[in-house]
Amino acid sequence: MEGSDTYLIRPSHQYKFKPAVVKECVREIVRERLSGKRFEPEEVQELSRSLAECIKDRVKNAGFDKYKLVVQVVIGEQRGEGVNMSSRCFWDADTDNHAEDLFMNESLFCLAVVFGSYYY
Amino acid sequence: MSGSIVGKYVPFYIRQLTYILTSDVLVMDEYQTEETAFVVEDVSKIIKESVEAAIGGHAYQHNRVNQWTTIVVEQCLSQLSKLGRPFKYIVTCIIMQKNGAGLQTASTCFWDNTSDGSCVVRWENKSMYCIVTVFGLAI
């Protein structure tokens, strides 16, 4: 990341991390790549990694330049097991935010979370 | 007389100057040894302790899982903030019942490789898996 010596402590409204916009990006990508797929142990490793890369690139291109991004993708097999995921963040609530999306079909579930942290 | 006065004062002045110089140098050293990169071992230790304390020795219970993930994550976060380092933290915790099902997590980050880092800890017991990820982003 290049330091563009502006020392802006708060992003202006148009550059702020918009959860709704990011959630839409994530939703599109996940639905497109996973509709109709079955959980395949060999395939899922590559699939989750490429999904994460894809989501990260799409969100970067959506114009959040001053944000550091963390994308986490969890794909699990649906076998009736119980799963619970939670997260907490220690950050600046005025500038930082996150967006998530859960996709389920008969054989798998996929949770994608994007965290955006403003780089001062 | 003048000779002895000069003899008295000059050494004192020099001593005072050297004291200021050395104390400035000491302050500089202390500042530079402060951790400015993400240290994986410290964070890993904190995560392991939090997980052990929250769910070590328990069996999977559907009605308590929500509470457990919250406890693990909040405990991790409070210990991390006590480290006092200039980082923003993101902690996620996944608890999954052991059922023979497969689970894959992947994460990718757009950050500064020199200062930021992440740490993943996988923990399990007879009835469940717990995966905790901590991302640290330098300010």
What DSSP line would sit under A90-106, residue for residue? Answer: ES-TTT-EEEEEEEE-S
Minimal Cα distance from B114: which residue of A?
A1
User: How far apart are the CA of A28 and the nearest CA of chain B, in angstroms?
Assistant: 18
Minimal Cα distance from B60: which residue of A?
A82
pLDDT of residue A2: 58
Contact B89 A113 (CB under 8 A): no
Q: Please, what sign has the CA dihedral across residues A71, B105, A111, B129? A: negative
pLDDT of residue B15: 52
Q: A7-53: per-residue pLDDT in tens?
A: 778 888 888 889 999 999 899 999 999 998 888 888 999 999 999 99
- Tell me what ipTM this predicted complex has: 0.84
**Dihedral over alpha carbons A70, A74, A75, A76 (to 10 degrees):** 180
Element (H or E) spanning A87, and its range? strand A83-90
**A37 contacts chain B (CB < 8 A):** no
pLDDT of residue A14: 82
Minimal Cα distance from A76: which residue of B?
B103
Across A71-80, average pLDDT: 92
pLDDT of residue B132: 94
Tokens of A19: 């959860």
The more confident residue out of A84 and A2 is A84
Residue B5 pLDDT greater than 80, yes or no: no
Query: Please, how many CA atoms are within 13 Å of residue B123, restricted to the half-sphere of its CB?
Result: 23
Helix (H, G, I), strand (E, B) or coil at B105: strand
Whole-Å CA distances, A96 to A110, A112, B90? 24, 17, 11
Share of residues in chain A with pLDDT > 70 (%): 95
Q: B14-46: per-residue pLDDT in tens?
A: 555 545 444 444 444 444 445 678 889 999 999
Q: Which residues of B touch A1 (CB under 8 A)?
A: 111-112
pTM: 0.79
